[in-house]
Structure 1
Amino acid sequence: METVLRDLSFLEGPRWRAGRIWVSDFYTRRVLSALPDGSDLRVEATVPAQPSGTGLLPDGRVLIASMRDQVVLRREPDGSLVTHADLAGLARGVLNDMAVDPQGRCWVGCFGFDLMGGAAMEPAVLIRVDPDGRAEIVAEDMWFPNGTVCDGRTLVVAESFGNRLTAFDVGPDGGLANRREWARFGEPPTSRDVGAVLPGLAVVPDGISEPDAEGAIWVADADHGRAIRVREGGEIADEVRLPEGLHSYAVALGGDDGRTLFLCAAPSFLEHERRDTRDAALLATGVEVPLA
């Protein structure tokens, strides 16, 4: 396990793009990029309302989920930020992770409730944003939709408090059908108390990678100090343990040969513990099966 970046607040949304690793740093409100060894660190965007998930449009422009104002931003070639879609009338709670598919459609999750404020857990929605910025809710009753991947035909979403990865078939018009459990780690929650639910979750699936060459997905297990490689059906085929005291909140496969697993790591996810500290890091380790 190597440290790529250190002394950051809380990292999310890692993406491998054109020889660089991109990542959002919540509480410094920056989207950063660096070479895979951490050198040539750049600030790619400053997002006052806090950046989270990112994704790449087919033409190379980057989309960024701006959490607190519920807006998806688009980074233009000159580095400027414009509003791609305003989701304030659709999202429930702050925006979360997201993915962009080969057709340029953006799939965005949200919290569903005030996690940091200690509110009771409520189901959330998944939102599709079309290339022209039009948006609609495409799935409901999701338990904290988080890491997302979509190849244009199949959409997989991590439900962090649902003990599962959920899949959908994607129609030509962007409609979703055939909702199913892609991987089930345990029973869904019966309590609305996050403090009671967390200890009972076998896996807390947070950020997830794009599928590797065998179709497996790396999953950041946010409460157990590890990332796991999961096959469709739920088999855990591999595991990477983080250094003592750290948890993994998002992962991405990349590197020049597609065999580097990048991990967003921090001691916890709670805002009051991370906002004014700088002990989050971007880690990396080699894996056997490369990115597809």
Structure 2
Amino acid sequence: MTVLLNDLVIGESPRWHDDRLWFCHWGAHEIIAVGLDGDSEVVLRDPEISPHSIDWLPDGRLLIVPKNAEPKGRLLRQEPDGSLVGHADLSGLPSGFNEIVVDGRGNVYVNGADFDFLAFLERLQSEGPDAMNVPLRDRPDFVPGYIALITPDGTARQVADGIEFPNGMVVTPDNGTLIISESFAGRLTAFDIAADGSLSNRRVWADGLGPDGICLDADGAIWTSIGETDCVRVREGGEVLQRIELDRSPFACMLGGPDRRTLFIMAARWNPADPFGGPRTGQVLVVPAPAPGVGRP
């Protein structure tokens, strides 16, 4: 394992695109792109929207979930001239977008909840150590999340609910399955994708994890997090095939490189009292992977 980039606040939503790793630099309001040689570029800095997660439409236009939804909207699209515009009419969807993935047909899936995570953590800390004896999903102030679909014609609708803190999502190469991290439940959950983008046949894909941002490889295994500081490669059913021990928390991972056999891990020391202040502990770590990345993102 080597360090590709240092001195970050928190790196999130990594994507391999146009021969570089792109990611959102939380706390700095940036989108950064970096090559395997470590040469990095800030491709967007905008404190007004503060990019939260990203993906691309099939025509190459960038989609951005902003942390600050006003005034431009909850899902933005970057036009060829660099301008940012609202993407589709989302007025019928719940608030609070978090993660995004675009499938091979141009369907956009977003997840989220009407839920202030940082305020939730503040209340948890104020209650003292005994509060941690109650699972986070069982707290009375927790609000379950959802998955929403935005089709290429701009139609938007909710396609799943009851997601226990929705996080990273992947879509299989055949566009037939969507897998999502339910972080507060410690599991990966799978859905079948219908021809119209609807989700059905909800099932547990793997349990006993601590999943956040995820990616899929050609052997059908998923890279994710488990515990506080471990990144693992897990197959359906929950068997851990490989474990990488870190000295800080893995927030997300992505398979990329010329043959997609490079695992990028976004890691940082989480400070719940001041997540975006204090020492910059964020890193992009690089590890050779046993199988290439497939699917979306």
**Equivalents in 2 of 1:68, 1:88: separation in Å?**
16
Q: Does 1:270 align with 2:272?
A: yes
- In the alignment, is the contact (CA less than 8 A) between 2:92 and 2:156 conserved in 1? no
Q: 1:73 aligns with which of 71, 76, 98?
A: 76
- In the alignment, is the contact (CA less than 8 A) between 1:214 and 1:289 conserved in 2? yes
Mapping of residues 86-125 of structure 1, within 5 Å: 87=90, 89-92=92-95, 94-118=96-120, 120-125=141-146
Change beyond 3 A, Cα 1:83–1:110: same
What is the aligned partner in structure 1 of residue 165 from structure 2?
144
What is the aligned partner in structure 2 of residue 198 from structure 1?
none
Determine helix, strand or coil for the equivalent of 2:169: strand
- In the alignment, is the contact (CA less than 8 A) between 1:253 and 1:261 conserved in 2? yes
TM superposition shift of 1:271: 6.8
Mapping of residues 135-214 of structure 1, within 5 Å: 135-151=156-172, 152-185=175-208, 203-209=209-215, 211-214=216-219
Q: 1:238 aligns with which of 222, 239, 242?
A: 242
TM superposition shift of 1:147: 0.3
**Equivalents in 1 of 2:232, 2:271: separation in Å?**
19
Determine helix, strand or coil for the equivalent of 1:116: helix
For the pair shown, which has the larger CA radius of gyration, 1 or 2? 2
- In the alignment, is the contact (CA less than 8 A) between 1:52 and 1:95 conserved in 2? no
Determine helix, strand or coil for the equivalent of 1:207: coil
Mapping of residues 2-81 of structure 1, within 5 Å: 2-44=2-44, 46=46, 48-69=48-69, 71-81=74-84
Corresponding letter in the other structure for 1:168:
F
**Equivalents in 2 of 1:47, 1:106: separation in Å?**
25
TM superposition shift of 1:228: 0.8
- In the alignment, is the contact (CA less than 8 A) between 1:52 and 1:64 conserved in 2? yes
Change beyond 3 A, Cα 1:110–1:47: farther
- Which runs of no fewer than 5 residues in structure 1 stay unpaired? 186-202
**Equivalents in 1 of 2:62, 2:255: separation in Å?**
18
Residues 94-114 of structure 1, C-alpha deviations (whole Å, 9 max, x = no match):
321111101111111114422
TM superposition shift of 1:46: 3.0
What number of residue pairs does the alignment pair up?
A: 270
- Which runs of no fewer than 5 residues in structure 2 stay unpaired? 124-140
Determine helix, strand or coil for the equivalent of 2:217: coil
**Equivalents in 2 of 1:11, 1:124: separation in Å?**
23
The alignment's TM-score, normalised by the length of structure 2, stands at 0.85
What is the aligned partner in structure 2 of residue 192 from structure 1?
none
What is the aligned partner in structure 2 of residue 225 from structure 1?
229
- Identity, % of aligned positions: 39
TM superposition shift of 1:225: 0.5
Moved more, 76-85 or 159-168: 76-85
TM superposition shift of 1:273: 3.1
Corresponding letter in the other structure for 2:62:
V
Corresponding letter in the other structure for 1:217:
I
TM superposition shift of 1:137: 1.0
**Equivalents in 1 of 2:245, 2:89: separation in Å?**
38
TM superposition shift of 1:73: 1.1
**Equivalents in 1 of 2:38, 2:89: separation in Å?**
33
Corresponding letter in the other structure for 1:134:
T
